[in-house]
Amino acid sequence: MCVVVTQIAEGEGETLVRALRRRGAHRVVVLARRAGRVELRTLLAGGLRGGVASTTDAAGTPARPAPAPPVPTAELSARELSVLSRVAEGRTNRLIGEELGLSALTVKSHLARISRKLGTGDRAELVAIAIRNRFID
C-alpha cells in the first residue's frame, strides 16, 4: 500500500502508524511533500517499509512547516463514509459497488460528492483527510 499525503506535521507520524496498524496494513510506503526528520523516523520505527519526503526547500534550507490544512466541516453521510472506508481498504469502484449493492457509476458519484466536500479529487488524499480528521478508522 502507498499512502500519499501533502504534509506530515509534528506528532502526526505516530497517529498515522496507529491508524495503519488498526487497518492491518503492514507493507506501507508513505510519500509526503513535506515531513520532518523526526516524523519520518517515527514512521519507520513504527514498521512502515519506507518513506519519501522533502525536508528542505529548493534553496537547501529547512522548509517552513506549512500551516495545518483546515479541518473539513462538511458532513459526510453514512453511505459516503462506507464508500470512503472501502476506498481506504484499496477497493475499486466496481468492488465497492458489489459490496454495497450499487453500480460502479453510483460509487463514482458518491466519490465526486465526497471530493467536493473535502476539497480534493485524489483518492489517496481523500483517505488521508478522512483518517486525519477521524472520519474513518
User: Which has more pLDDT, 129 or 59?
Assistant: 129
**And the C-alpha cell for 2?**
502507498
- Mean pLDDT of the region 110-119: 92
User: Which has more pLDDT, 68 or 119?
Assistant: 119
Write the burial class of residue 96 (CB in 10 Å: 0-12 exposed, 13-18 middle, 19+ buried). Answer: buried
- Mean pLDDT of the region 64-84: 72
- Position 16 scores a pLDDT of 77
Among 35-44, 65-74, 84-93, top mean pLDDT goes to 84-93
- Mean pLDDT of the region 84-110: 94
- Mean pLDDT of the region 79-83: 93
Write the burial class of residue 136 (CB in 10 Å: 0-12 exposed, 13-18 middle, 19+ buried). Answer: buried
| pLDDT single digits (tens) 11-63 | 777 777 778 778 777 677 777 777 777 777 777 777 766 666 665 444 445 55
Name the CATH topology of 78-132: Arc Repressor Mutant, subunit A (1.10.10)
Write the burial class of residue 56 (CB in 10 Å: 0-12 exposed, 13-18 middle, 19+ buried). Answer: exposed
Domain ranges of the chain: 2-54, 78-132
| pLDDT single digits (tens) 98-109 | 999 999 999 999
Listed in sequence order, the residues at least 6 apart from 60 whose beta carbon sits closer than 8 Å to its beta carbon are none
Residue % of the chain over a pLDDT of 70: 76
In the three-class reduction of DSSP (H, G, I as helix; E, B as strand; rest coil), residue 30 is classed as: strand
